[in-house]
């Protein structure tokens, strides 16, 4: 008796389980169909998408090459300018000491000293008059 009751309960449980699984299986079938449609659409559009990505990559590579070329040109210009300034500074360092030894520079230095002395003398004289 107990065996028959437990078999009936087990059978009813299996039946209920099958009844609840039917909607899940139907939903899985619909989802599989939707996935198939999506996959077919993706397979159709994928070559176009890949071609667009290749074009974008080619454009980016061209732009990068152009920018790199501009940077190299600008860098070479700056290097030439830097070399020119270095040469000018070197020349000034070599020429200025030679100019300072010339008699004209010494005369100018003496004249500047005399002018400063006269100016100080005049300031002192004007201060005494006040």
State which residues form the domain around 52: 2-129
76-130: per-residue pLDDT in tens? Answer: 999 999 998 888 888 887 877 776 677 777 788 888 999 999 999 888 888 876 6
CB 99 within 8 A of CB 105: yes
| This prediction's pTM | 0.46
Q: pLDDT value at position 60?
A: 96
What φ, ψ does residue 10 adopt, rounded to 5°? Answer: -65, -40
Instruction: Name the average pLDDT for the chain.
Output: 88
Please state the domain count of the chain.
Answer: 1
Dihedral sign from CA coordinates of 40, 43, 46, 48: negative
């Amino acid at each position: 008796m107990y065996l028959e009751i437990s078999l009936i309960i087990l059978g009813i449980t299996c039946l209920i389980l099958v009844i609840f699984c039917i909607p899940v299986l139907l939903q899985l079938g619909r989802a599989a169909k939707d996935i198939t449609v999506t996959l077919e659409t993706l397979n159709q559009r994928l070559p176009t998408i890949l071609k667009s990505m290749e074009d974008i990559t080619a454009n980016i590579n061209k732009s990068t090459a152009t920018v790199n070329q501009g940077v190299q040109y600008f860098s070479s210009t700056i290097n030439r300018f830097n070399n020119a300034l270095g040469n000018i500074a070197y020349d000034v360092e070599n020429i200025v000491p030679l100019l300072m030894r010339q008699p004209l520079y010494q005369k100018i230095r003496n004249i500047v000293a005399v002018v400063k002395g006269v100016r100080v003398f005049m300031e002192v004289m004007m201060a005494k008059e006040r």
